[in-house]
Amino acid sequence: MTIAMVASEMFPYVKSGGLADAVGGFCRELSRHEETIAILPLYRSIDCERFDIRPAGIDFSLNLGGEKFNIKVYKCFDNGCENYFIYHPALCDHERLYDCPDSDLRFGIFAHAVCELAANHINIDILHLHDWQSALAAPLAKEPYRLRCRVVLTIHNLAFQGIFSKEAIERLNLGWDRFTIDRFEFYDKVNFLKGGIADADAVTTVSPTYAQEIKHPDFGCGLDRFLRTHEDKLSGILNGIDASEFDPASDPALSFPFDNRQIGRKQEEKHALCEHIGLHNSHYPLFAYVGRLADQKGIKELAEMLRSIADAPLNVVILGSGDPYHEALCKPLEGKENIRVILGYDEALSRRIYAASDFFLMPSKFEPCGLAQMIAMRYGSIPIVRKTGGLRDTVIDFTDSSPHHPNPSVGTGITMERTDIVSFMHAIIKALALYADREKHTALIVSNMKKDFSWRRPVMEYLKLYRALKPF
């Protein structure tokens, strides 16, 4: 069986968040079982020299809305996976990865090019699409390309659907007959993700809980009813993390790499980080946040809570980037002696923070899966999360098993039902009490570090899904 993974980002070539980690780790593990191909846009920011990306000798042109687009295909090999890159200036030559004008045309070109590649240049059995940026390939695979393969669509975040004015129908040769309520049409606009869901043979999302949540109006982002009509083909498979990429014992970003028998070295990493970012009292518990500064992540509630506890004997570090509103909520916290706010994207610093911190804050309003809490557990940082989506599926409160005899082999972190200030304070008090009990804290760290968050199990589930789809 040959599987083509189609995505708008993939680690290590291009990454803006969890999608890239997820697709990269997934491909690497899947290629150990089945022939795996990845298809990505060749953005200007991708370093062709570093990854030895060369022309694949495949060129073709697309005729979209009466305009001709000449496509060039590139490729490289990595860890048993064959990676194809689609190049056209209108798709690839932008300053920003997303939110550019003409995004409908950009990812329309991408989806057409993927289908043309699969129709005439490579053989595939499963076309596995990720998020709205590639979702258009599901209807196109049926008509006009008539691909002889099954199509799986994975939703990593329903909040992003790719909604555009209806001119896209003609501009991208989608056909007005498909501009209907049961396909692309969404409040008189074109919805790429909705069109993809309608035509995919299977739809998955990245955790079992989120697969249930999105059928409810609170989480459905306007598509809950539509998803309910397609629930027979909807399931949730929890993401993994790439266990060799995220490994505190061999991570080159760390000054004191450590495994689960060397927790003392984790302390040294903490002292080194505190010194590096100018936090005094490095014996204080260190609370961390790494991630996008966006409404989804509960940043407003996080900032409010941190303002209230800023005088307590603890340290906080925030690494993130996001929209001006959320960045402005965090920046003033920097005025506190024990809080550091680092705005920007820094892969190496993120690893140091995971490794150095004692607690990892993730008060998300919704979270399709969340990789950060799994990375945190692997690096010995105890997650403090709101119980939603994949956070509910991966973090069990360490006091849940028995309030009097916490069982670290069952629990993994601290959970909150809500993120109001009282619930948040309660969670922080629980964390401080755990920190004061060195033996219990260390036991929980070690037990989390031993857990298997790799792609091994998820890939088994996806293989089962692929095999259950009737072959062509």
Span interacting with ligand GLC, options 13-21, 181-189, 241-249, 423-431, rule CB under 6 A: 13-21
**Residue 322 binding ligand ADP, by CB under 6 A:** no
Cα distance between residue 395 and residue 388, in whole Å:
10
Minimum separation from the CB atom of position 68 to ligand ADP (A): 36
Minimum separation from the CB atom of position 128 to ligand GLC (A): 13
Minimum separation from the CB atom of position 386 to ligand GLC (A): 12
Minimum separation from the CB atom of position 372 to ligand GLC (A): 8
Of 256 and 345, which CB lies nearer to ligand ADP in the complex structure?
Answer: 345
Span interacting with ligand ADP, options 65-73, 216-224, 286-294, 430-438, rule CB under 6 A: 286-294
Token pair of 459 as six digits? 């890939």
Cα 138 to the center of its chain, rounded Å:
21
Cα distance between residue 417 and residue 437, in whole Å:
24
**What is the size of the binding site for ligand GLC (CB under 6 A)?**
14
Q: What are phi and psi of 318, to 5 degrees?
A: -120, 125
Of 14 and 119, which CB lies nearer to ligand GLC in the complex structure?
Answer: 14
DSSP lists the bridge partners of residue 37 as 4, 82
Token pair of 135 as six digits? 């979702």
Of positions 81, 371, 449, 459, contacts ligand GLC by CB under 6 A: 371
Minimum separation from the CB atom of position 16 to ligand ADP (A): 8
Of positions 321, 401, 407, 423, contacts ligand ADP by CB under 6 A: 321
The position carrying tokens 């606009």 is: 189
Minimum separation from the CB atom of position 161 to ligand GLC (A): 13
Of 7 and 431, which CB lies nearer to ligand GLC in the complex structure?
Answer: 7
Three-state SS annotation for 307-362: HHHCCCCCEEEEEEEECHHHHHHHHHHHHCCCEEEEECCCHHHHHHHHHHCCEEEE
Minimum separation from the CB atom of position 431 to ligand ADP (A): 20
By beta carbon distance, the residue nearest ligand GLC is 18
Select from ligand ADP, ligand GLC, none the partner in contact with residue 320, using the beta carbon and a kind-dependent cut-off of 5 to 8 Å.
ligand ADP
Of 111 and 369, which CB lies nearer to ligand ADP in the complex structure?
Answer: 369
**Binders of ligand GLC among 167-196, rule CB under 6 A?**
none
Indicate left, alpha or beta for 242 from its phi (over 0: left) and psi (-120 to 50: alpha).
beta
Cis check: omega of the bond before 285, within 30 degrees of 0: no
Minimum separation from the CB atom of position 98 to ligand ADP (A): 12
**Residue 240 binding ligand GLC, by CB under 6 A:** no
Site string for ligand GLC, 378-407 (x = CB under 6 A): ------------x-----------------
**Residue 239 binding ligand GLC, by CB under 6 A:** yes
Of 203 and 369, which CB lies nearer to ligand ADP in the complex structure?
Answer: 369
Taking residue 415's Cβ as centre, other Cβ atoms within 10 Å add up to 23
Of 298 and 390, which CB lies nearer to ligand GLC in the complex structure?
Answer: 390
Of positions 108, 368, 408, 413, contacts ligand GLC by CB under 6 A: 368
* 8 A C-beta contact, residue 147 and residue 115: yes
**What is the size of the binding site for ligand ADP (CB under 6 A)?**
19
Of positions 155, 279, 319, 329, contacts ligand ADP by CB under 6 A: 319
Site string for ligand ADP, 336-375 (x = CB under 6 A): ---------xxx--x------------------xxxx--x
Question: Which residues bind to ligand ADP, rule: CB under 6 A?
Answer: 17-19, 21, 290-292, 319-321, 345-347, 350, 369-372, 375
Binding-site ranges for ligand GLC (CB under 6 A): 17-19, 22, 156-157, 206, 239, 367-371, 390
